Chains A and B, each alone.
Chain A
């Protein structure tokens, strides 16, 4: 806002918002049918289909709305499950009902929208990406490089005002649908079918859609971030890094593995963030996939016991949290406009410590029991409790805290809600960073003017200023080393450094001139 809004920027907003509008409108234009083919495409087998078809009554039925599909299919599935249970065929019972309703709906998506999915994909994603780039590109020409935070606290989107709350509500709703009721966003998922079909040869599942969307967001908002901090090579390099890890390691390689019919693996995802790594189905998958499977198992364990301690000792947790991680990648790019909204109060810090280590303990206990039960005979005493724990963790941590709150609350609580309060891997990395690492943020002597830019723009809610104004280095478990505090400091007071452990933490120095140094 230091320069008047540029015409290209305005056009960019119009194009982007139109695409966003169209993307949402698709939710209301899909038509559905229930046919033998559509039911079969859901993956149900003959026995299940037989019961379900009877329950559904006459088929085919055409020209249904999404809500009519839910109204018909849900009760029929319930009855099917009841019958299967009565007959003792419990192995055929469908436990994830919302997912099955979605599969059946998606198989029956028909009409104009279904036939023109490729067209809609182009109409949404091309202008969406183009528009977003048009918003930021003019800054290259019209704004000098440097910190440009003008107007952030006047903008209703970035100052936790009506627009921020609205976006948060929208995101929360999106995540609730994505995790728990995907049928309500069937069209948004189907729009990526053409991409999925051309890569994998099969229609898109919800995680394909989410992965694609996620990658595009990191890419586009990553370009925005690079433009914004183009005077700062640390910021440019780490953003290129998160873009690489998302597009190649997290998105592309797993697709290739799928094509090759190998076990799924995101090679940069580390337990306990990857909380199901030690679940028996994952272990069995690796053990039955030959050399590659063994390698994957070895790789995953090496990351936990070698890479995390070693790299965190050398560079701090930033090597992962703001250079590699996908959650961190989204937070740093798409979430950057909201970094200033993190709570800096001491209360928030106290809550943070309780929350994050609770999740870490939960994940550790669950994993320990999982592994123990794996070595015991089937139907051991841990079997049932472990399953319950998996369910609770998956729902509470894997879905609600990571997605619904962790990302949905960006515009309200800042962009690192998940990373700061709940991520168990961040907890693990943080313990090493706090007690055994060469990393610190160095304070430059007495140059601090207590202005508060560093604290305000710290996404982890660290009160950086409270250290800087006392001449203390910043050594905190939560610091992800994004480097923004050092970037926004108007007096060159902060520097992220790896150095000798000796002198890393300075306790309460008094800065009263070098001749009066007392401690």
Chain B
């Protein structure tokens, strides 16, 4: 029996699900999005603004791909879901029927009700629309304030600097991304940020955004009472599941759409994946809501298996993530928490001149490796995954470091002798 599978959202999660369902079945697949007509890589938005690429380069598949693989794309906004009649209602008032529904609507940037947050020139950096707004505003921006010390924040800072815009960076924590990074790594990033002439303000929060008569921003006042003149405010204080259209639909939600280990909601044949999903029982050590590219992709692959009758629980394996802070790449494997757990110990070396650092976290009792942070050093995913999964020791990793290095040929082995 050919089913109609409808996917709301054409980001990495939804598209991955669509592709893998197509690989395994002949079901009808429809993907709905109101952001862009075609799938693009959200992580590449910054490169469009910086002139590295054009929008078309951020599309991982050529436009003919969808028709060839019989994936119907609908460019429309979903208003609500009718679970009783298995229908979704869209902005153009057309109803789309489904047999199986996948909710993959991603996130929206947080706003915390600050005075002035709806002024012209205040927005996040998450969607294609945010990018277009920033591009339109850019000619009149000389100074900008970026609020929020996370990954999108630092990318937005880098974007603005590429257009010679002066940036003040307001970070609530005592150090950049210190909710995730241990103090040393975080301090290295602070140094990198400052070396790019960014006015990095730690332990401070946005209090108020002041506007002029025409509704444009004039300045920002932080919690210390300091005023910063600016023409743009970037709000990058985290994102939340984009699920308001599910209100009263009968699909259970909390912060996100609640799903079991098979990514299924309380309603049969309705699934949720990616940023908008909230796991009722998250896998070991994981957060209920994971807003990361990779987990979105893994959820997309997993749900596709389940839907195509290869029922598979969401078991993402060893945690991994990556980022790039200006010129310094960051990779992490396993769990490295900002402060050690009682049963953990750590080995850390850094090379301040080259902005390189390596941290190993391991269990006190048996030296078993549990997490690795690398800055300015590329590591092999498969090797680290194996070492952590199979319980290799920290000493083993240090002795066999060369096997794990993924830097280009002729690169010198990282010099980590200086403590």
Q: Which residues of A contact B (CB under 8 A)?
A: 1-4, 144-147, 149-155, 231-234, 237, 345-346, 442, 444-447, 449-453, 455-456, 465-466, 469, 483, 486-487, 490-492, 495-497, 510-516, 518
Contact = CB atoms under 8 A, between A and B. Distances in A.
Interface size bracket, B side: 35 or more
B120 to A, nearest CB: 24
Interface in B130-168: 161-162, 164
Given A146-B326, A234-B409, A455 B57 contact: yes
Contact of B331 (A152, A447, A511): A447
Contacts of A512: 298, 301-302, 305, 312, 316
Nearest to B195: A144
Nearest to A237: B410
Contact of B385 (A4, A345, A445, A491): A445
A148 to B, nearest CB: 9
Q: What 10 A-B pairs have minimum CB-CB distances, sorted nearest first?
A: A445-B381, A146-B327, A492-B378, A514-B317, A513-B317, A512-B301, A451-B44, A233-B410, A515-B315, A513-B316
B352 interface: no
B411 A151 contact: no
Contacts of A465: 60
B329 interface: yes
Contact of B327 (A145, A155, A452, A515): A145
Interface of B: 12, 20, 41, 43-44, 47, 50-54, 57-62, 161-162, 164, 195-196, 293-294, 297-298, 301-302, 305, 310, 312-318, 320, 322-324, 326-327, 329, 331, 378-382, 385, 389, 406-412
Nearest to A512: B301
A456 B52 contact: yes
Given A446-B320, A518-B305, A451 B58 contact: yes
Contacts of B380: 444-445
Most buried by B among A145, A465, A497, A512: A512
A144 B191 CA distance: 14
B41 A232 contact: no
A450 B57 CA distance: 10
B50 to A, nearest CB: 5
A272 to B, nearest CB: 29
A446 B381 contact: yes
Contacts of B54: 153
A351 to B, nearest CB: 15
A447 B322 contact: yes
Given A234-B409, A450-B12, A495-B406, A147 B301 contact: no
A447 to B, nearest CB: 6
Given A444-B378, A465-B60, A511 B298 contact: yes
Nearest to B60: A450
17 contacts: A1-B51, A149-B50, A151-B50, A151-B51, A153-B54, A233-B412, A445-B385, A450-B12, A451-B43, A483-B409, A492-B378, A492-B379, A496-B408, A510-B301, A512-B302, A514-B318, A516-B302
A513 B312 CA distance: 11
A3 B389 CA distance: 45
A124 to B, nearest CB: 32
A232 B408 contact: yes
Given A445-B381, A514-B385, A491 B410 contact: no
A146 B297 CA distance: 29
A449 B43 contact: yes
B265 to A, nearest CB: 20
Nearest to B318: A514
A97 to B, nearest CB: 47
A255 to B, nearest CB: 32
B53 A453 contact: yes
A140 B217 CA distance: 37
A388 to B, nearest CB: 41
Contacts of A451: 41, 43-44, 47, 58
Contact of A450 (B41, B314, B326, B329): B41
Nearest to B161: A2
Contacts of A513: 298, 302, 314-317
Nearest to B301: A512
A511 B320 CA distance: 13
B329 A492 contact: yes
A469 B297 CA distance: 10
A68 B408 CA distance: 59
Nearest to A346: B62
A296 B264 CA distance: 72
B324 A491 contact: yes
A250 B176 CA distance: 53
Contacts of A490: 324, 329
Given A445-B382, A513-B315, 4 more contacts: A146-B327, A153-B52, A232-B411, A491-B323
Contacts of A147: 327
A447 B381 contact: yes
Contacts of A495: 378, 406-409
B329 A452 contact: no
Contact of A510 (B20, B316, B379, B406): B20
Given A234-B411, A444-B381, A444-B406, A515 B162 contact: no
Contacts of A492: 322, 329, 331, 378-379, 406-407
A64 B382 CA distance: 74
A514 B312 CA distance: 13
A513 B305 CA distance: 13
A345 B62 contact: yes
